[in-house]
A = this chain, B = another copy of it.
Amino acid sequence: MILLFTDFGLHGPYTGQMMHQWAPGIPVVDLFADAPVGNPKVSAYLLAAYAAWFPAGTIFLCVVDPGAGGMRPAIILKADGRWYVGPSNGLFELIQRRAGKTQKWDIDWKPEHLSASFHGRDLFAPVAAMLARGEPPPGRPRKDDADRREDWPDDLGEIVYLDHFGNAMTGLRATMLPEDVRLAAGGEVLERANTFSDRQPGTAFWYENSNGLAEIAVNHGRADRELGLSIGSPVEIVCCMKAGSGQSFI
């Protein structure tokens, strides 16, 4: 199965031109077509949260690539049995960091025609198809870590995605947060809830979403509008000091 993770948007020809190249027998699922536009850092936290949900053998075709036509490597990553194909611009940083076992290749296969602006169609989609057919990675083992972003945090205190309901996902994994932590965003300090129906309509709160991220929501409302949140808005951890502990954890 090929999973798509792109910032192409659902509209327009980009996804269609990638997909038509694959044999009908290969199942394709569009996971995100609206990853944060041109923002590999924020996208990296979103991808890592969702990829973990899929079985080994899944092939992730990931294109958030503001440097298309520029100078970033094109790579294949295998991490805990899942495959990732895309630009090496930090997009896979959290996947690698959280994986038990990784291998990387620099793609050295060249298409007959490589457009300057659409490597998703011309380079990454055909490579994903090769992997889907069970062929070996068309590249040579990657030797250096120039694609790593060691300075990025393990969890990101920013909004990484706004969904159709106006809920705002953060780059913070809920399991990394103490049970009684509060989050500050959009000028409000938010308590944790287990589900929407735990809170009065109109109340903003945060909860662990179905993929493990801390997510900000308003019961019967839209958190994006009511708190003025957008991609990259800061989210601060308001701690939850246990007397005498004084620990900071992120």
**Chain A residues in contact with chain B, CB under 8 A?**
1, 3, 7-17, 19-20, 24-25, 27, 29-34, 37-38, 50, 53-54, 66-71, 115-118, 121-122, 161, 163-165, 194-198, 207-211, 220
Contact = CB atoms under 8 A, between A and B. Distances in A.
Contacts of A31: 13, 16-17, 20
A19 B11 contact: no
A196 B164 contact: no
B11 A69 contact: no
Given A13-B32, A116-B194, A116-B208, 18 more contacts: A3-B20, A9-B163, A9-B164, A9-B165, A10-B10, A10-B11, A11-B33, A12-B161, A15-B30, A16-B30, A17-B53, A20-B27, A38-B220, A66-B220, A67-B197, A69-B198, A70-B197, A117-B207
B38 A195 contact: no
Main secondary structure of the interface of A (DSSP, over half): loop
Contacts of A10: 10-11, 164
Given A24-B25, A116-B195, A207-B116, A37 B70 contact: no
Nearest to A9: B164
